[in-house]
Structure 1
Amino acid sequence: MCVCVCVCVCVCGYVKRQALYACNTCTPKGGEAAGVCLACSYKCHEGHDLFELYTKRNFRCDCGNRKFTELQCKLFPDKDEVNSLNKYSHNFFGIYCTCSRPYPDPDDQVEDEMIQCVVCEDWLHGRHLGCVVPDCVELQEMICESCMNKNPFLWTYAAHLAVPGAAVPVKEETGGDSNTDVPNKEEQVDDVIEPSCKRSREESSCRLKELQETGQKRVQSGAVFWPSAWRSKLCSCSTCQERLSEADLSFLFDESDTVLAYEKKGKNNEQKEQGHDPLMSALDNLNRVQQLEIIHGYNDMKTELKDFLQRFASEGKVVTPDDIRQFFEQQQSRKRRRVDAGRFYCT
């Protein structure tokens, strides 16, 4: 992991998704919940009792703000008193699941996987989800029963989009002939498409409304597992967008919000850094002599920077902006000495 990126994360605003920690030493249970970024966990909280929170969305590092009465952030001391858009849960005090137990739990002898809800981002034991955990769960997203019940319209989507086997779908009774499970084409058209001219275009194009009108339901209990790309199948009409916005669920329209997308992006960036040298694309318009001079200078600086950063890595320290400035000041000083040493004067 690049330490420079960690420093940028610490000073930036609310980050779309990042790894977070909670410091039990600085903000123990009973105090205000707070989260710190990876860089601050190394630089400001070394040797402290930390809770690893994995990743959270739309979060800004709290290190050194009002919640830390006796600690000032060593990376960026000038911070807002509070990050009002941050969301906190009992996870920030080392407690997880509906059973409110720590992880790892020394008193729990049952081997059980913990799965994160994509809405509240709490971690729950598989046995406390109220449903059967499907196969390939690492490729699926889960919404816990509590979050489903807080947003009842999600149950409609679940009846059509959820992973089969996690819950049993049922068909709503429509009356009439008990031997007829599905209405004929004419009845279905009359049901779904009202002839009234008052029906707005928005209503007729609302996928959620269309799904509701099919009458297909599922048992509204237990967590729900969702397959890959399920978010792209949510209705995005103006009414549904407003509904998700009011419920603070607009992120469900963003497929890059998923943890899988976050991990995939990290792997792609790592591979790109290993296989791509940005120097090559900058040399196309230079002559041979200029290309060689730049390549030699670039390689020298690259080697020196690698050695410089290696010292911090071996000591487990985070690189600060002051350290980077000091490195380049030393580079400039060495360059000036080389230029001065190469001058010749006639007498």
Structure 2
Amino acid sequence: MNASTDLPGGGIASSSTARTTFPFAALIGQAPLQQALLLAAIDPGLGGVLVSGPRGTAKSTTARALAELLPEGQLVTLPLGASEERLIGTLDIETALRDGSVKFSPGLLAKAHRGVLYVDEVNLLPDALVDALLDAAASGVNTVERDGVSHSHAASFVLIGTMNPQEGELRPQLIDRFGLMVELENCFDSKVRQAIVKARLAFDADPDTFRASYATQQAAYVQRIHAARERLPQLAFDDTVHGHVSRVCIDAAVDGMRADIVMLRAARALAALEGAAAITVEHVDRVAEAVLRHRRVNRDADTHAPQSSSPPAQQEMHEFPQTSQAERKTGSEGDWGQLPPEAAGTMRVKGVIPLPAKKR
């Protein structure tokens, strides 16, 4: 058994797991993705983050790095071959009928509570599983019902779904329910690529020393997340912010009202993260692209739409698949995308506004 170590947020993780996690603070060229994940960590009710991009752009590495900053330090992966019962849990109906008591066997949603639920290639999952994931992510509660017997439990987690657009898209009804979306790109900047490779090689050569050099920054992230969660309910939306959000969403020709609500909540989370006294129009503008990218009616017009002031996401070289497509589809819970270091020659939020009920 591996020894346990305290995480900066008071959570517990095995020493081997912590030792092989690339620090969130050490990620290079991932500012838009890091911001989106931090906002989802502050307000899990945003509905999760959808990350689209080609292979090798550090999607799983970043998800694992975020999990380390959360109270439980827990990252749960959902295999492509998982059944709905494995995801939501099961009820023992015979026991309920015989004894009148509910016997519940937890699923992956329960295991992910207060941590990160990572779904690689979410676009390849059955729609029913994606629907259940998004329901729990938005509500913070998982309810299992069978033959008139039901059981509910807390399931507040940061949902991170990744996909390679070359392998197909999610249906519009499902993609809209992800709170935020970030599109990663390959990096063609020589200096950035060199910085990424140097950081990876330093981590491989001596992970303990490398992680220690970022300990202060990691602890600062943990404290910022905790403080932002406490501050979140104290921030209110004024009419100026409401009006600006409405205009931005109308200009993007989005369907329904979900974009407005998510944009308000994301702006509030950003204001809380930065310790601002009030939510401003600037906060709205800085989260708008992640809210609208997957909701614009004419997605082909993205290149002509106003872009975020944040720098474009760049490629990380911290992620290399360790399992094949066939292995993933068998339902294995392996550490997809994990690259262990080798010798080289990333709580329930109180007072949040609930998302509207799911359209039937």
Q: TM-score, normalising length from structure 2?
A: 0.22
Q: Radius of gyration: which is bigger?
A: 1
Structure of greater relative contact order (alpha carbons < 8 Å, 6+ residues apart): 2
